[in-house]
Amino acid sequence: MSSFVDVSYQRKSKVWQHFTYNKAEEKAKCSVCLAIIKASGSSTKSLIGHLKSKHQIHIESSLGKSAIEPGEPSSKKRKIDSYFKKDHRESLGEVLGKLVAVDGLTFNQIASSKLLRRAFAADGYSFPNSRDYVKKVFMKQFAEIQSKIVTKIREMKKTDNRFSISFDESTSIRNRRFINLNLHFPVGFQSLGLIRVKGSMVTERVIELVQERLHEYALSLDDDIVSTITDGASIMMKFGRETEPLHFSCLAHAIHLSVCDVLYRETPKQISSNYTANYESSGEENPEENFDEHGCDEEQQNCFDIIPEIKEIIKKVRKIIKIFRKSPVKNDNLQPQVQQSFGKEKSLFLDCKTRWNSLLNMLQRFYEMKKEVKVAMLQLDKDFNISSEELERIKEICDTLAPLEMAVQYLCKENTDIILSEKVVVFAIKKLSELKTPFGNVLLESFKKRIQERRNVEVVHLLEYLKSPDFLEQSFDEFGVKIRKNKITNLAIKLQKRMFKQHVTIDTSVDETMQSPSDSNVNNDGNKEGEPPKIMTLSEEFQAFLKEPGLPVEEVQSVGAQVINKEMQLFEATKKRPENLEKLYRSLLTIRPTSVEAERAFSAMGLFATKIRNRLNDDTLNAMIVLRQFYKNKAAI
């Protein structure tokens, strides 16, 4: 009986399918050539080598490799971190760029921090020794990132991608006016930074500044931009009328105005100047400086006045909330009741007079904690002077405003397009219609009116059609507007001609084979070879110039109406978009229903340009905004 036994069913490595094993002598016998090989322990390296060299049989080791690859540590030198893939080492510029733009550290903090100095040295970086050097490296990194963005945009343009832009203006703490410009594409957006506006901000100047910034990123306002998205300010509306791209007004602004029409007294000037604060409810940062207890600065006091029908109720709610917010002792009396009911502490909110959604948050939390507040008030020997009818009115206000707050949140998401925005608006209208309350009915009518003022019906219909040709089977859309195929077709042809021009080279030179034999020995001056050059009059020179062969001319041609009509017929028959309609559909998906990204950028600007850090120049602030968005949304572009 052989002392070599089959162990293939016990060992993981497939090599044992070709060997038997003698455990006492720690030797293996090859089943092919009967060679005996020493195999100590669980090592199979010698067995794998034997099969490979003698029998051309390649077996992977239990580690998943047939042999140790070049550069891999040997078994004696192998350490635990040898099995982990090392991350790409970031450059000094990338590290400093993230510390400044994402983490918000100042140049001086980075240069003077001893902890950062040790950390940089431990990672093998040459630590910057002055704030000027930190700034120099940071600005150099910005130039590199800007170059990458331009390269990516050019690559996208080569594949017939088009873009939309959104922008708005704001004033920094240093009393400087900026325009924030964002570039949108179907899968995200890219900040193009801040544009400093010097002097009066007229429409012609805004157009010039936007065109200059787009040119820096290899973009043309007329050819590459599908639409512009702005707020409803008159200067922005004029911008839309005087430029080629489609113009869309922010729907979040429309919702704000619809609430103000119903809930507050009419103060159009203040409403127009303060609506943008509402956007920040969907943003990341909302610095509150110089605000009073309601979140308003001194100039904003009494800008809004709630309608008399609910004003007294709101006053009572605010008065009760202030009792617990201004006194830690009284709040400590409330929290045991809250802890018992909800299993955790909850605080009452106080609204900001310039933000209608903060009124909703205040009333929702108060209604949620009404029982606990009432018990705490009784324990403090204070009257809870809100009747059950008034509590029902508070609930009615909350139920009415909640659908609009939901609509704002969805409309302000990064990738919400026009098609999704239509669904959001229709859903909000449906929820308001189901309430059937006097307050809800009035707000519903105001909401519909404001949305219809800003809704671009033709673009919506074109997008719905390109999504599915079955859209034409409807007679009217969700808002009762007649669906007309001829308008859809005309808009498709117009957009196709403007954005997707084809450059065709036409050779106007004369073909040599078409020349007459008698002209073959005539030179360019019209003289036969061997003859002296003929002196030409000015008139003869001009006639000869007219007869000269033209240079190849690059002529711009567009896809004609006939092609678009044929593709639309094909699309309706097959349900698949042909090439030109597919390009148009992708382009229209870049349109966003709100200009919220500009507001978020201004919130971020408030983190950099503070009262203490108020000497940042325009270029540095612009670089911070661009790099912040680039690093936080790196997958976007």
pLDDT tier at 611 (50, 70, 90 boundaries)?
confident
Q: For residues 351 and 361, is the Cβ–Cβ distance under 8 A?
A: yes
CB 110 within 8 A of CB 101: no
pLDDT band at 484 (very low <50, low <70, confident <90, very high): very high
Q: Is the pLDDT reported for residue 356 higher than 60?
A: yes
pLDDT computed for residue 64 by the predictor: 46
pLDDT of residue 274: 40
Average pLDDT over residues 505-529: 44
Residue with tokens 């794998």: 48
Stated pTM of the model: 0.70
Q: How confident is the model at residue 531 (pLDDT cuts 50, 70, 90)?
A: low
233, 218 in Cβ contact below 8 A?
Answer: no
pLDDT at 2 over 70: no
When pLDDT is averaged across residues 550-554 and rounded to a whole number, the result is 44
Contacts (Cβ under 8 Å, ≥6 apart) of 191: 180, 181, 182, 183, 597, 601, 625, 626, 628, 629, 630
pLDDT exceeds cutoff 50 at 225 = yes
Question: Which residues lie closer than 8 Å to 323 by C-beta, 6 or more apart?
Answer: 330, 377, 380, 382
- Residues 352 and 296: beta-carbon distance below 8 Å: yes
Residue from 190, 168, 166 nearest 177 by CA = 168
Interval 177-212: pLDDT, tens? 999 999 998 888 999 999 999 988 899 999 999 999
Question: Residue 465: is its pLDDT beyond 90?
Answer: yes
* Each residue's pLDDT tens digit, 5-58: 777 767 777 778 778 888 777 888 887 787 888 877 667 878 888 887 777 777
Residue 497 CB neighbour total at 10 angstroms: 16
DSSP 26: T
State the residue for tokens 């609509």: 407
User: CB burial class (10 A; 0-12, 13-18, 19+) of residue 568?
Assistant: buried
CA 424 to chain centre: 19
Encoded tokens for 193:
């930074």
Assigned token pair, 443 = 């707000």
Residue in the block written with tokens 């922010």 = 250
Nearest to 412, CA basis, from 166, 164, 246, 149: 166
Residues 318-349 have pLDDT tens digits of: 999 999 999 999 999 899 999 999 999 999 99
Question: Is there a contact between 355 and 278 (Cβ–Cβ < 8 Å)?
Answer: yes
With the C-alpha atoms ordered 151, 152, 153, 154, is the resulting torsion angle positive or negative? positive
CA–centroid distance for 313 within its chain = 41
Query: What is 143-250+595-636's CATH number?
Result: 3.30.420.40
∠ CA 564-570-576 to the nearest 5 degrees?
105
Q: Which residue has the tokens 């809250």?
A: 338
Q: Looking at residue 80, what is its pLDDT?
A: 56
Between residues 539 and 219, which one has the greater pLDDT? Answer: 219
32 and 20 Cβ atoms separated by less than 8 Å = no
Check whether 74 has a pLDDT greater than 80.
no
Q: In the numeric block, which tokens belong to residue 187?
A: 């899968």
Q: Which of 158, 180, 166, 150 lies closest to 227, judged by CA? A: 166
**Quick check: helix, strand or coil at residue 546?**
helix
pLDDT band, residue 133 (cuts 50/70/90): very high
Distance (Å, whole) CA 18 – CA 44: 12
Q: What is the mean pLDDT of residues 67-78?
A: 46
What CA–CA distance (Å, rounded) separates 456 from 497?
A: 20
pLDDT at 366: 93
Among 83-97, 369-383, 423-437, 531-545, which is the least confidently predicted range?
531-545
Total length of the chain: 637
pLDDT band for position 265 (cuts 50, 70, 90)? low
- CA 418/CA 591 separation, integer angstroms: 6
Say if CB 357 and CB 365 are below 8 A apart.
Answer: no
Q: What is the pLDDT of residue 537?
A: 59
Residue 275: both structure tokens together: 């609506």
What's the longest Cα–Cα distance across the chain?
123
| For the chain, percent of residues with pLDDT exceeding 90 | 43
Phi then psi dihedrals of residue 397, to 5 deg: -65, -45
The tokens describing 432, both together, are 């308001």
Q: Are 541 and 533 in contact (CB under 8 A)?
A: no
- Of 359, 356, 364, 353, the closest CA to residue 399 belongs to 364
Tokens, residue 265: 């007294």
In contact, 403 and 432? CB cutoff 8 Å = yes
Q: Which residues does 480 contact at the CB level (< 8 Å), separation at least 6?
A: none
Q: Between 111 and 127, where is the model more confident?
A: 111
Q: How many helices (H) and strands (E) does the chain have?
A: 23, 10
For the stretch 360-383, pLDDT in tens is: 999 999 999 999 999 999 998 888
Asked if residues 111 and 130 have their Cβ atoms less than 8 Å apart, the reply is yes
Provide φ and ψ at 60, rounded to 5°: -80, 145
Which of 393, 372, 405 minimizes the C-alpha distance to 316? 393
What would the pLDDT profile of 429-463 be if each residue is shown by its tens digit? 999 999 888 888 999 999 999 999 999 999 999 99
Average pLDDT score, the chain: 80
| Residue in 448, 478, 457, 433 with CA at minimum distance from that of residue 261 | 448
Looking at per-residue confidence, does 470 or 309 come out higher? 470
- What's the CA gap between 630 and 149, in Å, rounded? 9
CB within 8 A of 635, min separation 6: which ones?
188
Structural domain spans, the chain: 14-74, 143-250+595-636, 294-455, 469-511+536-588
CA dist 284 and 604 (Å) reads 8
Q: What pairs with residue 190 in β-bridges?
A: 183
Of residues 59 and 492, more confidently modeled: 492
**What's the pLDDT score for residue 270?**
42
Yes or no: say if 86 and 99 are a contact pair by the CB < 8 Å rule: no
CB 272 within 8 A of CB 232: yes
Secondary structure, 3-state, 241-277: HHCCCEEEECHHHHHHHHHHHHHECCCHHHHHHHHHH
| Whether the Cβ atoms of residue 466 and residue 485 lie closer than 8 Å to each other | no
Q: Which amino acid is at 624?
A: M
For 530: left if phi > 0, alpha if psi spans -120 to 50, otherwise beta; the answer is left
Q: Assess contact for 576 and 524: CB atoms under 8 A.
A: no
- Of the ranges 19-33, 260-274, 502-516, 578-592, the best mean pLDDT one: 578-592
259 Cβ neighbours under 8 A, 6+ residues apart: 356, 401, 404, 443, 446
